[in-house]
Amino acid sequence: MGGKLTEQQKLYVVIAAVIIGGGFCFYNYSVKPSRIEIARLKLDRNQKEQKFKEDSKTAARLPYVRAESAKLRKELEYSEKALPKEKDIPFLLSTLTEISEENGISFNSFSPNNVTSQGDYSTLPITLSGIKTTYHNLAVFLAAIGNLPRLISPTKIQLTGITTRMEKGALEGKEEKEETISVTLQVESYIYQ
């Protein structure tokens, strides 16, 4: 048995080579790609599970976010009413006239002045003059201005007493209807810039 192989040994070598080669090819072209695909799919599944968990947390917060959004929308609406982006002098005139009439006050002059910039907002001074009323009616009128949705504030009030005449019924305990003060009032309306 020197160095030559018998026919049967050659056959075994060829069979072993075919089995080893076939096994190598099967592993490289079938098993190995499958393992790589399995690893890729596991990684993809883990990433999707992580994203699902994050999305679930986000979805769980959705009612809170919606409620917060609705709250912020209401605050924005309030802010836009309180601090509009335009002067809207007709609105101011009609509103102040309506409030004054509701409170037994009339004014002879409605004079808007120049708009003054204050940084993020501007002020529009308005002078109401020729007002004749009582202290009580003036106080109620100023309170009504303070309760408006739009920000309007009195800045200057000039009061002058008026000599009053008593009506006949005033001596008998009936309420006096005469004006007791003359008022010049300056209010400021605010405008968002």
pLDDT by residue (tens digit) across 30-83? 888 888 888 999 999 999 999 999 999 988 998 999 999 999 999 988 888 888
Pair of tokens at residue 166 = 């008593």
pLDDT for position 31: 84
pLDDT for position 167: 57
Q: Where are the beta strands (DSSP E) in 67-140?
A: 109-112, 116-117, 121-133
pLDDT for position 145: 92
> Is the domain of 116 the same as that of 76?
no
pLDDT for position 168: 55
Pair of tokens at residue 25 = 């090819």
> Is the domain of 35 the same as that of 101?
no
> Is the domain of 78 the same as that of 97?
no
Residues 6+ apart with CB under 8 A from 35: none
pLDDT for position 80: 84
Kindly tell me if the per-residue pLDDT of 175 is higher than 60. Answer: no
Kindly tell me if the per-residue pLDDT of 88 is higher than 70. Answer: yes
User: Do the beta carbons of residue 151 and residue 189 sit within 8 Å?
Assistant: yes
Mean pLDDT for 1-24 is 84
Q: Which of 50, 82, 114 is the last residue of a domain?
A: 82
Nearest to residue 153, comparing CAs of 187, 179, 180, 129?
A: 187
Question: 125-170, pLDDT tens digit by residue?
Answer: 999 998 888 889 999 999 999 999 888 999 999 998 887 655 555 5
* Domain membership of residue 16 as a residue range: 1-82
> Is the domain of 28 the same as that of 116?
no
> Is the domain of 104 the same as that of 181?
yes
> Is the domain of 27 the same as that of 7?
yes
> Is the domain of 124 the same as that of 49?
no
Q: Which of 46, 61, 82 is the last residue of a domain?
A: 82
Distances (CA, A) of 24 to 13, 15, 18, 65, 166: 16, 14, 10, 58, 122
Q: Which of 82, 110, 142 is the last residue of a domain?
A: 82
> Is the domain of 146 the same as that of 179?
yes
CATH of the domain at 173: 3.30.70.60
Residues 6+ apart with CB under 8 A from 161: 180, 181, 182
> Is the domain of 36 the same as that of 96?
no
Kindly report the pTM of this predicted structure: 0.59
Structural domain count of the chain: 2
> Is the domain of 78 the same as that of 93?
no
